[in-house]
Amino acid sequence: MKTGMHPTSEWLPNALVGITFSLLGLLKVYGWRKGIMGGSGQPISCRLMGRCPSWSKPVNLGVIVLWLAIGLINLGYAASVLLQTRQG
């Protein structure tokens, strides 16, 4: 076995998706804790952090969980690719 550089195409797309979705999910968690309400006519910060007023509480919570799951799974995959040793 030898260690080597992994091609960027193996881990970078998953890392970017993971970072994006994890950050959006964490922003939603922060907004949920602060009670920020989003929706149309609100500033962009409230839209990013706030709950959708036309959705029910379980749907808002489901979106947060989905975004965090997508983000963390992609980050985990990218990390596993970077940490594995290449077969040579």
Report pLDDT digits (tens) over 64-88.
Answer: 999 999 999 999 999 999 888 665 5
pTM: 0.84
Segments making up each domain of the chain, as ranges:
24-83
pLDDT at 85: 63
Contact 74, 15 (CB under 8 A): yes
What is the spatial distance between Cα 17 and Cα 75, in angstroms, rounded to a whole number?
8
